[in-house]
Chain A
Amino acid sequence: MTYIGAEVIISPLGRTTAENWAAMHANRSGISLVKQAGFDDTDLYLSKMLDLVSEFKFEKLISDALAAVAENIDPAILTSDKTIVLVSSTKGELDKNITDQFGKSIDALVTAFGLANRPVVLPNACISGVLAINAASNLINAKIYDHAIVIGCDLISDFVVYGFQSLFAISDKPCAPFDALRNGITMGEGCGAVVVSETKGIFKNGAFRLLSGTSANDANHISGPSRTGEGLFRSVKKTLETNHVAPDEIDFICAHGTATVFNDEMESIAFDRIGLNDVPLSSLKGYFGHTLGAAGVIETAASMQMMQHGILLKSLGYQESGTSKKLNVVADNMTSHPKTILKTASGFGGGNASLIIRSL
């Protein structure tokens, strides 16, 4: 059995978790129009940390996140040889060293915090974050470690912006997940962190149960969502079954919801196949943009904040149903005390992952 807590969010909405929560609660978005940010100097909507100034931004963000985590747990955990740090990211410090995108930042983290074990980097596209939290839980359940700190971080770079532009995947307005007029993603950057532990007592500000989830490949296409939602369906079904949770016990879904036409449609089909149509559901991409490898961690952290505050956040950008299968998209902030929530992610390479968090 594992516990999850000490969540941290650093994003364009704020440098602390409290600042992020205040902004989310007010339904503020981190997305703004950034001049000449795209290929051929096109203006683009991005959720960019415009005030982030540092030569090594990735290193700075993951260090800041770990320092913030350290304030919320028993300080001895950080340097314990029974603790592992998992880093969820797709491109790390790509702009500084393309052939070794993580090495320098990881070395810096080990030195600055006196980590006993070298962090492991898990670049698994957009499911990295959820997969890393599940890996953390698995490593603890297998008694290989007692605690795992999961840090998710990705930066906006010309590389990823030009890439998604070349796929015609970027929205010409702030992204609108699950909405009828959605037409693509908005890129985002930021950093999130959570701690997974076998011990509830290490958390200074409370914790939740983490029910380890599963992943499943779509076996369909490397860059397009499955038409039947097969991989997501299988992942959620397995996660529910292995934890003996029935679909009607899920009180909230923090969906992936990238706001591309095909992804959100795929998610609606998968949730429909499991019978989760009526469960309140939000995508947080309207607040943070799509933060790629960081998304699963930032959005899990935000979901934990919703559970702490007893408020389900509206799915920002959503106005009118735009999927073939009915979903209960949260249209306005709701007071609610969800006991059990489901977090999902889907991404390039056909990956799908899910996990469940339950209040104690």
Chain B
Amino acid sequence: MSLITTYCHLSSDHCSVNGEIVVTREKDAADSWFKQIYKEQEIVYPKFYKMDALSQAGFLASELIKRANQGLTDKYKDDEIAMLFANQSSSADTDLRFVHSYELNGAPSPSLFVYTLPNIVLGEIAIRNKWFGENMFAVLPKFAPGFFVDYGQILLTTGAKAVLIGWLGILGDNVEVFVALVESESEGGMDFNSENLLKLADLSHA
């Protein structure tokens, strides 16, 4: 039986882990909302600053899930944690910035271009943790718990022992992020099924 053991939400003004708010946005702060979370949670990983918003969101959620689930990285081999992410608008948030760079700022920006693919966030998390497992990113019209349960179970029966699943809704000021860890051998958690996933994710659009 696979269980959802830890989860994290990011909205446009709150960040919570397992349903408990851990950071609330300060409206007048000089830092972006994701930088506020990074600093307040005392995460140290300088590459964070060069990431786009989609990668920052996935990175922060994965770091907070690891903190709430001590020993996670030692529990599994380096290819036993898979990642399965999705959203509705792909990398559009950064795609718009990249178009801006060559239409209005004189030249295409290579540092933006490398983030114009939604699966880059998977690479960033893999690099951070030295995870060599299976990864997949899907674009879906809305959060589809059945997709995560079906394909998550496939990953758990083809070599992975844990799957980080995530919905990364990032477009402009709209932040709707839900990331959860599903483990096949664990003692506590909620059954990994569509009903529980829909309830836990609690995404306003879905």
What residues of chain A have their CB less than 8 Å away from a CB belonging to chain B?
39, 90, 92, 94, 98-103, 106, 118, 120-125, 131, 135, 138-139, 142, 144, 158-159, 162-167, 212, 214-223, 230-231, 234, 238, 242, 348-351
Contacts of B127 in A (CB 8 A): 219-222, 350
Contact across chains for A348 and B109 when beta carbons are under 8 A apart: no
Contact between chains at A167 and B114 (CB < 8 Å): yes
Knowing A99-B92, A138-B154, A163-B98, say if A131 contacts B136 (CB, 8 Å).
yes
B107 within 8 A of A: yes
Q: Judge whether A217 and B132 touch: CB under 8 Å.
A: yes
**B122 interfacial by beta-carbon distance below 8 Å:** yes
Chain B residues, Cβ within 8 Å of A167: 110, 113-114
A230 touches B122 (CB 8 A): no
4 extra interface residue pairs, beta carbon distance < 8 Å, beyond A120-B147, A162-B113, A222-B124: A100-B92, A166-B110, A218-B126, A231-B132
A263 CB to closest chain B CB, in angstroms? 15
Q: How far is the CB of A107 from chain B (nearest CB, A)?
A: 9
In contact, A216 and B134 (Cβ under 8 angstroms): yes
A350 CA to B114 CA in the complex, in Å?
12
Cβ of B99 within 8 Å of any chain A Cβ, yes or no, is yes
Q: Which of A90, A164, A242, A351 has the most CB of B within 10 A?
A: A351
Name the residue among A103, A158, A163 with the largest chain B CB count within 10 angstroms: A163
Q: Is the CB of A123 within 8 A of B118?
A: yes
Count residues of B near A (Cβ-Cβ below 8 Å). Answer: 50
Tell me whether A139 and B150 are in contact in the complex, defined as CB-CB below 8 angstroms, given that A124-B136, A222-B120 are known contacts.
yes
Q: A98-B95, A101-B90, A166-B108 known; A123 and B117 CB under 8 Å?
A: yes
In the complex, whether B171 has a CB less than 8 A from a CB of chain A is yes
What would be 7 A-B contacts, judged by CB atoms less than 8 Å apart?
A100-B92, A101-B139, A102-B139, A166-B110, A214-B159, A217-B131, A349-B122
Taking the nearest CB of chain B, how far is it from the CB of A304, in angstroms? Answer: 23
Q: Does B141 contact A (CB under 8 A)?
A: yes
B108–A39 CB distance below 8 A: yes
Q: Which of B139-180 contact A (CB under 8 A)?
A: 139-141, 147, 150-151, 153-154, 157-159, 171
Shortest CB-to-CB span from A75 to chain B, Å, is 26
Residues of A within 8 A of B158 (CB): 138, 212, 214, 242
Using A98-B95, A120-B147 as known contacts, say yes or no to A223 and B135 having CB atoms under 8 A apart.
no
On chain A, the residues within 8 Å of B138 by CB distance are: 120-122
Q: Distance (Å) between the CB of B97 and the closest chain A CB? A: 11
Q: A231–B130 Cα gap in the complex (Å)?
A: 11
Q: Does B96 contact A (CB under 8 A)?
A: yes
Check: B116 CB closer than 8 A to any chain A CB: yes
CB contact under 8 A between A214 and B134, given known A101-B90, A166-B113: yes
For B123, give its contact among A120, A139, A166, A348 (CB under 8 Å).
Answer: A348
Nearest-neighbor residue (CB-CB) of A231 within chain B:
B132
Are B135 and A351 within 8 A (Cβ)? yes
Closest 7 CB pairs between A and B? Answer: A349-B123, A163-B113, A217-B126, A162-B108, A350-B123, A166-B108, A166-B110
B56 interface residue per 8 A CB criterion: no
* Chain A residues closer than 8 Å to B133, beta-carbon distance: 216-217
Are B117 and A349 in contact, with the CB atoms below 8 A?
yes
Bound-state CA distance A162–B141 (Å) is 28
Chain B residues, CB < 8 A from A125: 117, 119-120
Q: Is there an interface contact between A159 and B98, defined as CB atoms closer than 8 Å?
A: yes
Chain B residue, CB-CB nearest to A102: B139
CB distance from B183 to the nearest CB of A (A): 19
Across-interface contacts of A223 in B (CB, < 8 A): 114
B34 at the interface (CB under 8 A from A): no
From B88, B109, B119, B154, contact of A124 by CB (8 A)? B119
B118 CB → nearest A CB, Å: 6
- The residues of A that contact B123 with a CB separation of less than 8 Å are 217-218, 221-222, 348-351
Query: When the two chains form their complex, are residues B135 and A215 in contact, meaning their CB atoms are under 8 A apart?
Result: yes
CB of B131 to closest CB in A, whole Å: 6
Q: Are A135 and B136 in contact (CB under 8 A)?
A: yes
- Partner of A159 from the list B89, B99, B139, B157 (CB cut-off 8 Å) is B99
List residues of chain B with CB within 8 A of the CB of A120.
Answer: 138-140, 147
**Which of B88, B133, B135, B140 has the most chain A CB atoms inside 10 A of its CB?**
B135
